[in-house]
Amino acid sequence: MKLKRRWALTLGIATALLNHSAMANNTLEEVMQARGLTQKDVLAAAKTYTPTGGRDEYLAFSSGGQSGQVLVYGIPSMRILKYIGVFTPEPWQGYGFDEESKAVLAQGRVNGKDINYGDAHHPAASETAGDYDGKYLFINDKANPRIAVIDLHDFETKQIVTNPLYKSAHGGAFVTENTEYVIESAQYAAPYSKDYVPLEEFNDQYRGGVTYWKFNKEKGRIEPENSFTVELPPYSQDLSDAGKGPSSEWSFTNSFCTERYVGGIERGRPPFEAGCSAKDTDFLQMIHWKKAAELVAAGKAKNINGMNVILMETAVAEGILFLVPEPKSPHGVDVTPDGSKIVINGKLDTHVSVYSFEKLMAAVDAKKFEGKDAYGIPIIAMQDVLHTQVELGLGPLHTQFDAKQCVAYTSLYVDSTIARWNYCEGKVLDKISIHYNVGHLMTMGGDTVNPDGKYLVSLNKLAIDRFNPVGPLHPQNHQLIDISGDKMELLYDMPVPLGEPHYVVAIKADKLKPAIRYQSGWNSRTNQPSAFKTRAGREKIEVTEGKVEVFGSTIRSHITPEIIEATEGDEVIIHLTNLERAQDETHGFAMYGQNVQLSIEPGKTVTTRFIADKAGVYPYYCTEFCSALHLEMQGYLLVKPKGYQATVSEGKAGAVYTKAEYDKQVATNIETQGVIDSVVGFITSQNYQDFPPVVASVEDATDQLNFAKEAKAKADAAAAKGDWQNGALWANQWWQYQVKAADIGLRAKAYLQEHGSKPVK
The footprint of ligand K7E on this chain (CB under 6 A) covers a number of residues equal to: 11
The residue range among 116-124, 623-631, 697-705, 722-730 that interacts with ligand CUA, by the rule CB under 6 A, is: 623-631
Residues in the chain: 761
633 binds, among ligand CUA, ligand K7E, none (CB under 5 to 8 A by kind): ligand CUA
Residue type, 12: G
Distances (CA, A) of 645 to 432, 567, 579, 584, 654: 77, 12, 36, 44, 21
331 binds, among ligand K7E, ligand CUA, none (CB under 5 to 8 A by kind): ligand K7E
Kindly identify the residues of this chain, within the stretch 38-57, that bind ligand K7E according to CB under 6 A. Answer: none
300 binds, among ligand K7E, ligand CUA, none (CB under 5 to 8 A by kind): none
Which long-range CB contacts under 8 A does 536-544 form with residues at least 24 apart?
536/579, 536/703
Report the C-alpha gap between 536 and 552 in whole angstroms.
9
As measured in angstroms, the least distance from the Cβ of 121 to ligand K7E is 4
Kindly identify the residues of this chain, within the stretch 521-560, that bind ligand CUA according to CB under 6 A. Answer: 557
122 near ligand K7E, judged by CB under 6 A: yes
- CB of 170 or CB of 556, closer to ligand K7E: 170
The footprint of ligand CUA on this chain (CB under 6 A) covers a number of residues equal to: 8
As measured in angstroms, the least distance from the Cβ of 241 to ligand CUA is 46
Q: Which residues are 575's β-sheet partners?
A: 551, 607
Find the angle CA(596)-CA(598)-CA(500) to the nearest 5 degrees: 95
439 binds, among ligand K7E, ligand CUA, none (CB under 5 to 8 A by kind): ligand K7E
Report the C-alpha gap between 104 and 95 in whole angstroms.
9
- CB of 159 or CB of 458, closer to ligand K7E: 458
Query: Are the C-beta atoms of 735 and 704 separated by less than 8 Å?
Result: no
Report the C-alpha gap between 364 and 369 in whole angstroms.
8
CA atoms within 13 A on the CB side of 193: 6
The residue range among 206-214, 389-397, 486-494, 617-625 that interacts with ligand CUA, by the rule CB under 6 A, is: 617-625
What are the residues whose beta carbons fall under 8 Å from the beta carbon of 82, sequence distance 6 or more? 71, 72, 155
As measured in angstroms, the least distance from the Cβ of 592 to ligand CUA is 16
Q: Which residues of 638-653 are buried (b: 16+ CB within 10 A; e: fewer)?
A: bbbeeeeeeeeeeeee
Q: What is the largest CA-CA distance in the chain?
A: 102
Quick one: which of 158, 328, 420, 502 contacts ligand K7E (CB under 6 A)?
502
As measured in angstroms, the least distance from the Cβ of 440 to ligand CUA is 40
Return the axis-axis angle of helices 724-754 and 692-720, rounded to nearest 10°. Answer: 160
- For residue 443, give the DSSP letter: E
Give the helix ranges, DSSP H, for 107-249.
Answer: 202-205
Report the C-alpha gap between 583 and 594 in whole angstroms.
29
622 near ligand CUA, judged by CB under 6 A: yes
478 near ligand K7E, judged by CB under 6 A: no
What are the residues whose beta carbons fall under 8 Å from the beta carbon of 46, sequence distance 6 or more? 9, 13
- CB of 148 or CB of 574, closer to ligand K7E: 148
- CB of 124 or CB of 606, closer to ligand K7E: 124
- CB of 459 or CB of 633, closer to ligand CUA: 633
- For residue 514, give the DSSP letter: -
440 binds, among ligand K7E, ligand CUA, none (CB under 5 to 8 A by kind): ligand K7E
Say whether 690 sits in a helix, a strand or coil. Answer: helix
503 near ligand K7E, judged by CB under 6 A: yes
Report the C-alpha gap between 224 and 215 in whole angstroms.
9
The residue range among 234-242, 383-391, 611-619, 625-633 that interacts with ligand CUA, by the rule CB under 6 A, is: 625-633
576 near ligand CUA, judged by CB under 6 A: no
As measured in angstroms, the least distance from the Cβ of 634 to ligand CUA is 9
Report the C-alpha gap between 599 and 584 in whole angstroms.
12
As measured in angstroms, the least distance from the Cβ of 230 to ligand K7E is 21
Quick one: which of 170, 221, 288, 556 contacts ligand K7E (CB under 6 A)?
170
Quick one: which of 135, 288, 440, 533 contacts ligand K7E (CB under 6 A)?
440
As measured in angstroms, the least distance from the Cβ of 622 to ligand CUA is 3
Quick one: which of 125, 169, 385, 397 contacts ligand K7E (CB under 6 A)?
397
Q: Which residues are 181's β-sheet partners?
A: 214
- The rounded radius of gyration (Å) of the Cα atoms in the chain is 31
- For residue 37, give the DSSP letter: -
Report the C-alpha gap between 478 and 757 in whole angstroms.
40
- CB of 197 or CB of 629, closer to ligand CUA: 629
64 near ligand K7E, judged by CB under 6 A: no
How far does CA 19 lie from the centroid of its chain? 45
146 near ligand K7E, judged by CB under 6 A: no
Q: Please confirm whether the linkage preceding 561 is cis (ω < 30° from 0).
A: yes
Report the C-alpha gap between 416 and 508 in whole angstroms.
28
Query: Are the C-beta atoms of 752 and 694 separated by less than 8 Å?
Result: yes
630 binds, among ligand CUA, ligand K7E, none (CB under 5 to 8 A by kind): ligand CUA
Query: Are the C-beta atoms of 256 and 233 separated by less than 8 Å?
Result: no
Distances (CA, A) of 386 to 238, 250, 285, 303, 661: 20, 18, 15, 37, 90
- CB of 170 or CB of 214, closer to ligand K7E: 170
Quick one: which of 626, 637, 718, 728 contacts ligand CUA (CB under 6 A)?
626
331 near ligand K7E, judged by CB under 6 A: yes
- CB of 15 or CB of 586, closer to ligand CUA: 586
The residue range among 256-264, 344-352, 442-450, 620-628 that interacts with ligand CUA, by the rule CB under 6 A, is: 620-628
Which conformational region is residue 426 in: left (phi greater than 0), alpha (psi within -120 to 50 degrees), or beta?
left
Site string for ligand K7E, 221-250 (x = CB under 6 A): ------------------x-----------
Query: Are the C-beta atoms of 119 and 68 separated by less than 8 Å?
Result: yes
587 binds, among ligand K7E, ligand CUA, none (CB under 5 to 8 A by kind): ligand CUA
Kindly identify the residues of this chain, within the stretch 631-660, that bind ligand CUA according to CB under 6 A. Answer: 633
Residue 313 has phi, psi (to 5 degrees) of -55, -50
How far does CA 592 lie from the centroid of its chain? 29
As measured in angstroms, the least distance from the Cβ of 704 to ligand CUA is 13
Give the chain's count of helices (H) and strands (E): 13, 45
Site string for ligand CUA, 18-47 (x = CB under 6 A): ------------------------------
Quick one: which of 208, 224, 339, 439 contacts ligand K7E (CB under 6 A)?
439
Query: Are the C-beta atoms of 592 and 531 separated by less than 8 Å?
Result: no
582 near ligand CUA, judged by CB under 6 A: no
Quick one: which of 624, 661, 703, 743 contacts ligand CUA (CB under 6 A)?
624
As measured in angstroms, the least distance from the Cβ of 445 to ligand K7E is 18
260 near ligand CUA, judged by CB under 6 A: no
442 near ligand K7E, judged by CB under 6 A: no
As measured in angstroms, the least distance from the Cβ of 127 to ligand K7E is 18
Residue with nearest beta carbon to ligand K7E: 439
Pairing of strands 616-621, 489-496: unpaired
Report the C-alpha gap between 149 and 171 in whole angstroms.
16
Site of interaction with ligand CUA (CB under 6 A): 557, 587, 622, 624-626, 630, 633
Site of interaction with ligand K7E (CB under 6 A): 121-122, 170, 239, 331, 397-398, 439-440, 502-503
